[in-house]
Structure 1
Amino acid sequence: MSKIEARLTELGVTLPDAPAPAANYVPYVRVGDLVHVSGQISTRDGEFLTGKLGEDMTAPDGALAARGCAISLLAQVKAACGGDLDRLQRVVKLTGFVNSTSDFSEQPTVINGASDFMVEVLGDAGRHARSAVSAASLPFGVAVEIEGIFQIK
């Protein structure tokens, strides 16, 4: 078991199989030592986690959704690394999209759910650049979608 997967186990997290794309794109692209992972949408127990922040979801609800996106991002990185998650060197950047009302302003708090999880799992290697933006809607009505750039060995 890799060090990263051992840490995930300590946290009670099991990575799912890397989700398959839902349309005409690939789940990740490797360019040199960077892996660009397509947007991962919020799910819970294999079902879409839907809702609109500021309407029927709170910022803490959204942060849990963002954490789920981060778990899917790591599953994609594991696939990109041929199953060896210890090849992951650092999280470079996350871009988070929050399905929210026009007056909701806590997008950074929501995306902290993913950022905090990356640091909890990876320590300083999980610290990253980031954007957190509002969206009027997201695919399938999900609450959060996050894409990421990762450096691997």
Structure 2
Amino acid sequence: MPSPEKLLKDLGITLPKPAKPVASYEGFIRTGNLVFVSGQIPVVDGKVAVIGKLGGGVSLEDGQKAARLCAINVLAQLNEATGHDLSKVTRVVKVTGFVAATPDYTDVPKVVNGASDLFAAVFGDRGKHARAAVGVAVLPLDSAVEVEAIVEVE
């Protein structure tokens, strides 16, 4: 299988500089062989790219794009955690996706697929993971989606 970096390039993805935390937390914490990546929102060039609620003006497709952007930002944090060598990832263990949604919105898992599908595309079978997809009333900066991950590394 090609390296994660090659696969990202083939997908037309350039990882951004990891976002700096906006409150009292770290972007990631490594303990032993696990990296816990804090929740990432769909920020592009310093601005939230998708705001609002699913079921209330944000389409499923835009929600999936937001989840993919969140996953790209998770990968940026992970890239920093691995010393810029994503080949050190042995397994994406757990992904949690939070989706700002109206109370009657039921496609939350489909939204979070935007992140899960990217992890699988970049890491192959090592990118398949356990997951939770949770609908919430509101997210930081009115973001439509937030994604966090636990990843095993060498």
Normalising to structure 2: TM-score of the pair? Answer: 0.95
**Which consecutive aligned stretches of 4+ in structure 1 deviate over 6 angstroms post-superposition?**
none
**Structure 2 stretches lacking a partner, 5+ long:** none
Which 10-residue stretch deviates more, 54-63 or 128-137?
A: 54-63
* C-alpha separation in 2, matches of 1:81 and 1:121: 15
Q: CA deviation at 1:44?
A: 3.5
For 1:132, the aligned partner's letter is A
Residue 104 of structure 2 corresponds to which residue in structure 1? 103
* C-alpha separation in 1, matches of 2:42 and 2:80: 19
Residue 141 of structure 1 corresponds to which residue in structure 2? 142
Q: CA deviation at 1:116?
A: 0.6
Residue 85 of structure 2 corresponds to which residue in structure 1? 84
* C-alpha separation in 2, matches of 1:44 and 1:29: 23
SS in 2 for 1:7: helix
Equivalences for residues 95-134 of structure 1 within 5 A: 95-134=96-135
**Structure 1 stretches lacking a partner, 5+ long:** none
Q: CA deviation at 1:45?
A: 4.2
Equivalences for residues 33-112 of structure 1 within 5 A: 33-48=33-48, 49-112=50-113
For 2:144, the aligned partner's letter is A
The Cα RMSD (Å) is: 1.1
Residue 18 of structure 2 corresponds to which residue in structure 1? 18
* C-alpha separation in 1, matches of 2:46 and 2:90: 28
Residue 28 of structure 2 corresponds to which residue in structure 1? 28
Seq. identity, %: 49
Count of aligned pairs = 152
Deviations 1:22-69 (A, max 9, x none): 111011111110000000011244310211100111111101000000
* C-alpha separation in 2, matches of 1:90 and 1:64: 23
Normalising to structure 1: TM-score of the pair? Answer: 0.96
* C-alpha separation in 2, matches of 1:102 and 1:19: 30
* C-alpha separation in 2, matches of 1:105 and 1:91: 25
